[in-house]
Chain A
Amino acid sequence: DIQMTQSPSSLSASVGDRVTITCRASQSISYWLAWYQQKPGKAPKLLIYKASNLESGVPSRFSGSGSGTEFTLTISSLQPDDFATYYCQKYDNYPVTFGQGTRLEIK
């Protein structure tokens, strides 16, 4: 099975900072990667699909890039609402798997 590894596992940053989270696949998944944001006690929210496509309604400060085995989620200017846990997900074939998550905390 293809493994998804996110880095870092946790990150402290300030409002206004530019933040990048990385997700690596153990084998190529082409562009079949999604990013989700999850806040405590809430369901995950889709941010990015097909590696770089912004889901409708998601602020443009979020962007995704990459293909093959290495992907990034970038938040261009952190807002207070962005402090949450972020997960990547590969969905090229089965089994679908998620990265272990990156917890983004306020510095």
Chain B
Amino acid sequence: EVQLVESGGGLVQPGGSLRLSCAASGFTFSNYWMTWVRQAPGKGLEWVANIKQDGSEIHYVDSVKGRFTISRDNAKNSLFLQMNSLRAEDTAFYYCARYLNSGPEDYWGQGTLVTVSS
């Protein structure tokens, strides 16, 4: 059974940093692109970033470029999102998702909540 479990969310002050993790199981992690998608409370979905199987290709939404870094450790079946210079508008549930070879995202974790507030 495919499982994706996010962790690392919490309350952080504006300008602070946080590192999210996603533990994958039930599939060959190194065979798939992986994605982060976020959702502000009560709002719609926003695609954040994705990363190729070997980490050689990465894409970000403009609003996080230069502040967020996606990475992965295939040996540990883990996906990461390093978030720096956090802003109030980054407050959201962050989901990791598996991306099919020609898209879209088929399996999603249950999300971790990031709250940016003083």
Q: How many A-B residue pairs have CB under 8 A?
A: 51
Is A42 touching B110 in the complex (CB atoms < 8 A)? Answer: yes
Contact with B109, one of A43, A49, A50, A98 (Cβ below 8 angstroms): A43
Is B103 touching A32 in the complex (CB atoms < 8 A)? Answer: yes
Q: Is A82 located at the chain interface by the 8 A CB criterion? A: no
Is A89 touching B108 in the complex (CB atoms < 8 A)? Answer: no
Q: Is A100 located at the chain interface by the 8 A CB criterion? A: yes
CB-based nearest B residue for A56? B106
Is A96 touching B47 in the complex (CB atoms < 8 A)? Answer: yes
Q: Which residues of A contact B106 (CB under 8 A)?
A: 46, 49, 55
Q: Is B45 located at the chain interface by the 8 A CB criterion? A: yes
> Could you tell me which B residues sit within 8 Å of A by CB distance?
35, 37, 44-47, 50, 59, 61-62, 95, 100, 102-106, 108-111
Instruction: Kindly list 15 other residue pairs between chains A and B, CB separation below 8 angstroms, not including A34-B104, A49-B100, A99-B44.
Output: A34-B105, A38-B45, A43-B95, A43-B110, A43-B111, A44-B37, A44-B108, A46-B106, A87-B45, A91-B104, A96-B35, A96-B50, A96-B104, A98-B44, A98-B45
